[in-house]
Amino acid sequence: MATVVVGVTGGVAAFKAPIVVREFQRAGHDVYVAATRASLNFVGRSTWEGITSRPVAVDIAGEGRAEHVELARIADLIIVVPATANTLARLAGGFADDMVSLTVLACAAPVVVAPAMHSNMWLAPATQENVRLLRERGVHIIEPDAGALGSGDSGVGRLPDPVLIARRALAVLQQHRDAQTPLPLAGRTVVVTAGGTREPIDPVRFLGNRSSGRQGLAIAAAAARAGARVRAITANVDDSVANTLPDGVEVTRVGTALQMRDATMEQVRGADALIMAAAVADFRPEQAQTSKMKKDPTTQDAPTLRLVRNPDILAQVGHSSIRPPLVIGFAAETGTDEEIIAFGADKATRKGADYIAVNRVGDRVGFGNVHNDIRLLDASGALVDRYAGSKDDIAAGLIAQLATFLANLKR
């Protein structure tokens, strides 16, 4: 739980601030409100006291107390919503003559500011300069949206959805906390493969599989959140899923098994760990046609498709001189618990991996936007752990285990 101070200033959008407060409370955080006198014309004291169950801080000095100092001391995050043009100017200028500006000036916690005003005021050079100065000082600005304004005009300056404001502010809080706590994979480089390769038959057909790439992308995201530098190699994943990767993840897009092999052998150089979650096709057509294959109208026979084996990327990396210190492979299997563990144990001993994640597929588990069920085996085939649940749950468990493995290895 964190302590959030919500500073409310005298703009018409102040009526949306209680929704922001409610979102922080729903997230389990303790909320205090500091308000300017002008803001009480839009949302009164009784409203704030009813929502927060504590007095709203308005007076700079009252009964010998320095409330701004106390609020600044206990705050883990300050958010000013809405912030008027006047408030932006006061914060940029370092003024401290109302409870909101005074608390911000006295506080060392992260500050988020959500401006709302008429378009002309927002776009005015003076306002834009104040925003620039605040950003330079580390203040997080949630820029206003375009839309209908309180004046009846339309344009940029509208306060964004208060629920989204709260989420953005909580993300800032989490980033600040992460920065204060050493992340388990900080300084590590992790390569993750994701998706399913497609082997062309002709310009319109291919051999492929049902992999969506969701599990590999979830692992890449979890590794990035744990502080790792992540190199993701993706094959035919849905852009709507790939676009959810955190900023900073390096993505190499491939299509076929041969392209996946080449990219993997390049990206693992200097890496600390490789997680091969991609579903790589075992076979490819010996010769892809350069034009679409046609049905022969004179016969009911189908053409014969000659297949050749694709390279075993995991085995190639596992037995190479550029092998990372830690290699985890995935094996999608069907069957009983005993059968899939036996299949995984066989792969673990043959492929030179440190661990094999045996991924049960079929019967509404495994591929796609469904839950997953994974057994993690060591190189001898012994069961190390089991993960079941959503793709994100699996990724979190696997990355936590990976961090432990790397911590026990000498750099």
CA proximity to 93, closest of 133, 37, 36: 133
Tokens of 281: 């096709």
State the Cα–Cα distance between residues 90 and 280, nearest whole angstrom.
Answer: 59
Residue (of 218, 222, 230, 228) closest to 194 by Cα position: 218
For β-strands 372-378 and 355-360, DSSP reports them as antiparallel
Distances, alpha carbon 138 to alpha carbons 108, 111, 116, 287, in Å: 11, 8, 20, 57
Q: Is 295 annotated as a binding residue?
A: no
Which positions are annotated as active-site residues? 209
Is residue 282 a known part of a binding site? yes
Token code pair at residue 153: 């005009």
18 is in an annotated binding site: no
User: Which among 244, 138, 230, 224 has a CA at the least distance from the CA of 183?
Assistant: 224
User: Which residues are paired to 80 by β-bridges?
Assistant: 7, 113
- The CA-based angle 215-219-221, given to 5 degrees, is 115
Is 313 annotated in a binding site? The answer is yes
161 marked ligand binding residue? no
Find the distance separating the first CA and the last CA of the chain, reported in whole Å.
35
The answer to whether the annotation marks 312 as part of a ligand binding site is yes
Q: Token pair of 65, please?
A: 């107390």
Q: Residues within the annotated binding site for CTP? A: 282, 292, 311-314, 330, 347, 351
Q: Residues within the annotated binding site? A: 282, 292, 311-314, 330, 347, 351
